[in-house]
Amino acid sequence: MSIPHDTALAWQSLETHANALKPRHLRELFARHPTRFEDFSLTAGDLLIDFSKQRVTPETLLYLRDLARAARIDDWRQKMAAGDPINHTENRPALHMALRFPYGAAEQTAKAPTFPPRVGEEVARNLVRMRDFCETVHNRQWRGMSDSPITDVVNLGIGGSDLGPRMAVRALTAFAHPDLKTHFVANMDGADLAPLLARLNPRSTLFVVVSKSFATEETLQNARAARDWLATCLPEALSEPQKTAALARHFAAVTSHIEDAHSFGVPSEQIFAFGDWVGGRFSLWSPAGLSLALAVGFSHFERMLSGARLMDEHFFHAPLEENLPITLALLDIWNVNGIGVSSHGIFPYSQSLEFLPAYLQQLEMESNGKSVDREGRVLMRKSCPILWGSPGTIGQHSFFQLLHQGGQIVPCDFILVKRADFPLADHHARLLANGLAQSAALAFGQTREEARAAGLPEALLPYRAFPGNQPSTTILMENLSPRALGQLLALYEHKVFTESVLWNINAFDQWGVELGKQMARTLLPSLSDAAMDAPNAAAEEKLDASTRGLLRALRR
Residue from 31, 513, 539, 550 touching ligand F6P (CB under 6 A): that is 513
Q: Which of 5, 397, 514, 542 is catalytic?
A: 397
Q: Distance (Å, rounded) from C-alpha 22 to C-alpha 313?
A: 35
**What size, in residues, is the chain?**
556
What residues contact 468, with CB distance under 8 A and at least 6 apart? 25, 26, 27, 441, 442, 443, 444, 445, 446
132 closest CA partner among 293, 308, 315: 293
Using the contact rule CB under 6 A, the part of the chain among 205-213, 269-277, 348-356, 525-533 near ligand F6P is 205-213
Q: Rank residues 6 and 260 by Cβ distance to ligand F6P and give the closer one.
A: 260
Interaction mask 141-180, ligand F6P, x per CB under 6 A: -----------------xxxx-------------------
Inter-CA distances, 50 with 214, 278, 430, Å: 42, 31, 20
Using the contact rule CB under 6 A, the part of the chain among 2-10, 109-117, 206-214, 433-441 near ligand F6P is 206-214
Using the contact rule CB under 6 A, the part of the chain among 115-123, 209-217, 377-385, 478-486 near ligand F6P is 209-217
Which DSSP helix (H) or strand (E) runs through 46? Answer: none
Residue 458 bears catalytic tag: no
138 binds ligand F6P (CB under 6 A): no
Q: Distance (Å, rounded) from C-alpha 334 to C-alpha 467?
A: 21
Q: Return the ∠ at Cα 312 (arms to 309 and 317), rounded to 5°.
A: 125
370 binds ligand F6P (CB under 6 A): no
Contact 536, 526 (CB under 8 A): yes
Interaction mask 256-295, ligand F6P, x per CB under 6 A: ------------------------xx--------------
Q: Distance (Å, rounded) from C-alpha 345 to C-alpha 389?
A: 5
Residue 250 bears catalytic tag: no
Q: Which of 366, 370, 495, 499 is catalytic?
A: 366
Minimum separation from the CB atom of position 280 to ligand F6P (A): 3
510 binds ligand F6P (CB under 6 A): yes
Residue from 182, 219, 335, 506 touching ligand F6P (CB under 6 A): that is 219
Q: Distance (Å, rounded) from C-alpha 454 to C-alpha 16?
A: 40
Minimum separation from the CB atom of position 289 to ligand F6P (A): 13
Q: One-letter amino acid identity for 96?
A: H
Residue 266 has a CB neighbour count (10 Å cut-off) of: 25
Residue 369 has a CB neighbour count (10 Å cut-off) of: 18
Q: Rank residues 126 and 211 by Cβ distance to ligand F6P and give the closer one.
A: 211
Minimum separation from the CB atom of position 366 to ligand F6P (A): 6
Residue 366 bears catalytic tag: yes
Q: Which residues are catalytic?
A: 366, 397, 517
**Applying CB under 6 A, which residues contact ligand F6P?**
158-161, 211-213, 216, 219, 280-281, 366, 510, 513
